[in-house]
């Protein structure tokens, strides 16, 4: 069973465009590569044919996964977000209670996560811990370096 994913309208359009590209352009390229390799002779000893078929199978798996993501995607209206608690597409400022360091993270779907851009997945350890929390709440997060306590200091869009 597939998991529902929450996206902005822009993000969903990017996923749909990628799916369209894979189905209309990349699939044709794979089919042509298989046909070209098949025309080169004996299939039992044709490594190029085997590689082309494997690439085609991997592409079909990628298309199927992306179709599943798009089919189960839900658009979140950013204008209707509840800023009283941390939710998907909100930006939370959290402070490490031990060293006082503050960080700003926007919670996004796993496929959109980009730590350099400050976007973390709602499925990440920090994302799971702060989801649904309010300003002033403290959460303990288990990370590879041990347990860290964070305090939510701000929630914004």
Average pLDDT of every residue of the chain? 89
Q: What's the total number of domains in the chain?
A: 2
Q: What is the mean pLDDT of residues 140-156?
A: 90
Q: For position 142, which CATH number holds?
A: 3.10.50.30
Q: What is the DSSP string of the chain?
A: -PPPEEE-HHHHHHHHHHHHHIIIIIHHHHHHHHHHHHTTS-GGG-HHHHHHHHHHHHHHHHHHHHHHHHHTEEE--GGG--TTS--TT-EEEEEETTT--EEEEEEE-GGG-BGGGTEEETTSHHHHHHTT--TT-EEEEEETTEEEEEEEEEEE-
Q: For position 46, which CATH number holds?
A: 1.10.287.180
Domain that holds residue 92: 78-156
Q: What pLDDT is stored for residue 63 in this prediction?
A: 95
Between residues 46 and 13, the one the model is more confident about: 13
Same domain? 83 vs 152: yes
Of 54, 75, 96, the residue that ends a domain is: 75
pLDDT tops 60 at residue 133 = yes
Q: What pLDDT is stored for residue 32 in this prediction?
A: 93
């Amino acid at each position: 069973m597939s998991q529902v994913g929450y996206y902005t309208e822009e993000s969903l359009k990017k996923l749909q465009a990628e799916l369209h590209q894979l189905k209309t352009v990349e699939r044709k390229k794979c089919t042509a590569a298989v046909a070209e390799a098949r025309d080169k002779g004996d299939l039992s000893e044709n490594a190029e044919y085997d590689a082309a078929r494997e690439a085609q199978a991997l592409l079909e798996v990628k298309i199927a996964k992306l179709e599943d993501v798009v089919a189960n995607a839900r658009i979140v209206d950013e204008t209707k977000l509840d800023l009283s608690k941390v939710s998907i597409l909100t930006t939370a400022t959290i402070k490490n209670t031990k060293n006082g360091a503050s960080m700003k993270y926007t919670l996004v779907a796993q496929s959109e996560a980009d730590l350099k851009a400050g976007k973390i997945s709602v499925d990440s350890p920090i994302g799971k811990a702060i989801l649904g929390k309010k300003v002033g709440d403290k959460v303990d997060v288990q990370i590879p370096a041990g347990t860290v306590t964070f305090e939510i200091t701000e929630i914004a869009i």
